[in-house]
Amino acid sequence: MNVDGKHFRTVWMEAGTVRMINQPLLPHRFEIVDLPSYQHTAVSIRDMTVRGAGAIGATAGFAMAQAALAARDQRFHADMAEAAAVIEATRPTAQNLFYATRRVLRAIQAQGSDVPRAREAAVATAHEIADDDAACCEAIGSHGEPLIPQGARISTHCNAGWLAFVDWGSAISPIYAAHRAGKEPFVWVDETKPRGQGARLTAWELLQEGVPHAVICDNATGHYMKSGQIDMVIVGSDRIAANGDVANKIGTYSSAVVAKANGIPFYVAAPTTTIDPDCPHGDQIPIEERDQDEVRCTWGWTDEGQFTRVRTTPEGSPARNPAFDVTPAEYIAGIITEKGVVPASAQGIASVARTG
């Protein structure tokens, strides 16, 4: 996707250094961060310098490649197992992270005791994971675009655009395709508390692409649904269970329930790398609980041009901060994947889930 007319991916690797867009600074400042080691790259996942299912997966793959380049010959496989444990401990919910680390490990193990070839396999596989993510998201746009009527008013939640993936995005990819096809979609952008990924990131992306939109507070979505100003919902996902239940950013479930009550189709868009075939249903998806200060405080730019944090709650008030919730399959009109649109059901998921 383009930033001021120049193409960027969200994350990439050059000569052993992982490079990524520093997302917490957006939309106020565009900055590229260089990460020299897998430990630095793992921290970038944990502190959400990079976020979003596919982008986390690609970053994890690159971190594994960095670990392979640095691992000691005599302890190569042990060092790689340690690195995988560090990377997988960064965030528990996004399935793409675990898909990436385990895919790189399989590529390494296939080389046996040939350490130089194992290093090469790790780097090549990491690049393949990133390229596959970008290609899948472009295909999601192609499969999802026919679902969007001319002039559709679309609600989304959080950021499932190109910043959440290597390129194109999941939920926003069909919208980009519809916009480029002249369908003139309009997007209602939930701000997505507490980190504001909708207000900060999705709105910024849509501005870059020239897609008409409006940012609304999270609890205004129901109002616009009930008043007939939303035609459909498309959201992303961080993990999809084998029965079609979907984990996504906190607040997704509420949007799905209200959409169902108002007869509005609610779609989930995700590459098949987000499917966890070993997770039978949504109750088994681990829900990350993040620092309470993300709820108690907010970051922003002052009129004097300083990027700073301010507290918005009473000093003594505690907070809870689940990062995700689970939307049951019964609320989902369909899941848009790179292989096509499938029902949110065990049969639908099995028809597109990756094996191995």
The predicted-structure confidence for 169-183, as pLDDT tens digits, reads as follows 999 999 999 999 999
> In the chain, what is the greatest distance between 2 CA atoms, to the nearest angstrom?
66
Residue 244 pLDDT greater than 90, yes or no: yes
Residue 3 pLDDT greater than 90, yes or no: no
CB 55 within 8 A of CB 11: yes
The predicted-structure confidence for 6-46, as pLDDT tens digits, reads as follows 899 999 999 999 999 999 999 989 999 999 999 999 999 99
Q: Is the peptide bond before 318 cis (omega within 30 degrees of 0)?
A: no
The region of weakest confidence among 140-154, 248-262, 298-312 is 298-312
Q: Is the peptide bond before 149 cis (omega within 30 degrees of 0)?
A: no
The predicted-structure confidence for 252-287, as pLDDT tens digits, reads as follows 999 999 999 999 999 999 999 999 999 999 999 999
Which pLDDT band holds residue 346 (cuts at 50, 70, 90)? very high
Residue 305 pLDDT greater than 90, yes or no: no
**Tokens 């005791």 found at:** 113
Residues 6+ apart with CB under 8 A from 204: 26, 27
b/e code 225-264 from CB counts within 10 Å (16+ = b) = beeeebbbbbbbbbbbbbbbbbbbbbbbbbbbebbbeeeb
Output the average pLDDT for the chain.
96
Average pLDDT over residues 160-170: 96
**Tokens 């790259």 found at:** 41
Which pLDDT band holds residue 119 (cuts at 50, 70, 90)? very high
pTM, 2 dp: 0.95
In the chain, where does DSSP find H-type helix? 38-46, 53-70, 76-88, 95-109, 115-144, 173-180, 197, 203-209, 221-226, 252-261, 293-296, 346-352
Average pLDDT over residues 207-212: 95
3-state helix, strand, coil in the chain (%, to 5): 45, 20, 35
- Residue 41 burial (C-beta neighbours within 10 Å; 0-12, 13-18, 19+): buried
Catalytic residue IDs: 238
What structural domains and CATH numbers belong to the chain? Answer: 2-138 (1.20.120.420), 140-352 (3.40.50.10470)
Count of Cβ atoms closer than 10 Å to residue 141 Cβ: 22
Return d(Cα 111, Cα 87) in angstroms, integer. 22
Q: Are strands 307-311 and 297-301 parallel, antiparallel or unpaired?
A: antiparallel
DSSP 223-278: HHHHTT---EEEE--SEEETTS-EEEETTHHHHHHHHHHTT--EEEE--GGGEETT
Which pLDDT band holds residue 355 (cuts at 50, 70, 90)? confident
The predicted-structure confidence for 59-113, as pLDDT tens digits, reads as follows 999 999 999 999 999 999 999 999 999 999 999 998 999 999 999 999 999 999 9
Radius of gyration of the chain (CA): 20
Residue 116 pLDDT greater than 80, yes or no: yes
Which pLDDT band holds residue 356 (cuts at 50, 70, 90)? low
Of the candidates 189, 111, 144, the residue with the CA atom closest to the CA atom of residue 335: 144
% pLDDT > 70, the chain: 100
